[in-house]
A = this chain, B = another copy of it.
């Protein structure tokens, strides 16, 4: 069944307007908070992120405490989005992939689909053979980081279609973030952040022309 047979999804023009509307917000209006229903949906969107094999090798840390945000600020080149945005999310990726991670997914799949775990043994074998004993084992941490960036891409687009502003941030000191957030030894490390909220009327970046290469440069039909 096509989605547009069951619900009012966006038409192409509306999606394009949302994507044109979004930009990396530099100045957030610190007085505006994301309404709870919108935030719950963005949180669900993070959870629903597609990942390779479905392994979900990440955690999303929502930094609610103003004190902790203030502590992160100097490790973020003092970018005020960290403290002014309604929500500030740190994306942490698994630092390795183990059989325990694979077994956790097998267990959940078995439960969610009400099928015996044994029936998933070939699926399990493929994951172990690739990520633990195979070609991707050496880059497992990086593989997990890549999945985390899918979550970032998903979140930014979801925010845009809901009319929420966002600012992705790689400009921070991961080692300091890991220390402040107690991630050392947790099996996860901070890789990227995203501030969410509403743009300030004073953000001059909102009015700047978007800079993108030509479609003919970025997209080739072969």
Contacts and interface: CB of A to CB of B under 8 A. Distances in A.
Given A37-B12, A49-B153, A220 B58 contact: no
A56 interface: yes
A12 B162 contact: yes
A174 to B, nearest CB: 10
A113 B158 contact: no
Nearest to A56: B213
Interface string A62-73: 111100100000
A194 to B, nearest CB: 10
A112 interface: yes
Contacts of A156: 50, 150, 153-154
Contact of A145 (B14, B21, B40, B146): B146
Main secondary structure of the interface of A (DSSP, over half): helix
Contacts of A40: 12
Given A50-B156, A153-B153, A9 B161 contact: yes
A172 to B, nearest CB: 12
Contact of A218 (B17, B60, B113, B218): B60
Nearest to A10: B161
A151 B213 CA distance: 14
Of A9, A13, A16, most buried by chain B (CB within 10 Å of CB) is A9
A38 B47 CA distance: 27
3 A-B pairs with least C-beta separation = A153-B153, A3-B163, A12-B41
Contact of A12 (B16, B38, B52, B168): B38
A67 to B, nearest CB: 11
